[in-house]
Amino acid sequence: MAIRSSPSPVRPLAADRSVSRLLEAFERVPVAASIRRAEDLPQALASPVPAIFFLRAPAFHLGPLVWAVQARGKMAFVHIDLIAGLGKDRAGVAFLAREIGVNGIVSSHGSLIAAAKADRVIAVQRLLLHDDLGLPSALTALERAQPDIVEVLPGVIFPEIADQLRGRVAAPMIVGGLITEAGHRAAILGAGARAITTSSGPLWR
């Protein structure tokens, strides 16, 4: 993934890493754009979404991508588990936090969430629900890691399990995965999610 821009984006002096400001922005536009392809980024930058989640990108391209997002007044999040060429460890987290200056880091792993919090970036832990059997252990892992935000996947089942999650998940919840229609978005937000994350461009508004 790469994006051409002129002039090249430069890193801001400081990244906004306020969870409260992100949630306030989600009150206005409850959507984060998930980016898998470079060609989708210009549309996301032009949209009103307050945050962009990078799901696929080579590590050596991340700086200009993140800075282009921040130059538009948006927050940039990187899913560290999916980035090619980047260690899935504390050193990888430190690179994103200190060298790239991301606003937040997304991971399914509690150890990386702890590292992100130690580096004072917004820590988003993914809760991937395969079936009911895995839910208790996943919730226990969340309670140990204490992320700033929980991203629940797949989003289409969130309205069915929202009541179960609210009783156990203290952090604000956003919801992603398989959200492709306006009806999905309305149902998920109506069930109590603070925002959705989606790669569907028509929903970035």
DSSP for 73-85 reads: T-EEEEEGGG-BT
Q: Supply φ then ψ for residue 192, to 5 degrees.
A: 110, 0
Q: Is 3 among the domain residues?
A: no
Nearest to 186 by CA among 30, 22, 15, 21: 30
Position 75, amino acid: M
- Residue 105 burial (CB count, 10 A): 26
Residue 32 is part of which domain span?
19-203
Tally of domains within the chain:
1
| Strand ranges for 164-203 from DSSP E | 173-176, 195-198
Model-level pTM? 0.93
pLDDT, tens only, 49-78: 999 999 988 888 899 999 999 999 999 999
Q: Is 9 among the domain residues?
A: no
Which residues contact residue 80 at a Cβ distance below 8 angstroms, ignoring those fewer than 6 apart? 86, 88, 92, 93, 96, 105, 106, 107, 112
**Token pair 């079936």: residue:** 131
CATH number of the CATH domain containing 24 = 3.20.20.70
Give residue 27's pLDDT band: very low, low, confident or very high (50, 70, 90).
very high
Q: Is 95 among the domain residues?
A: yes
pLDDT, tens only, 97-126: 999 999 999 999 999 999 999 999 999 999
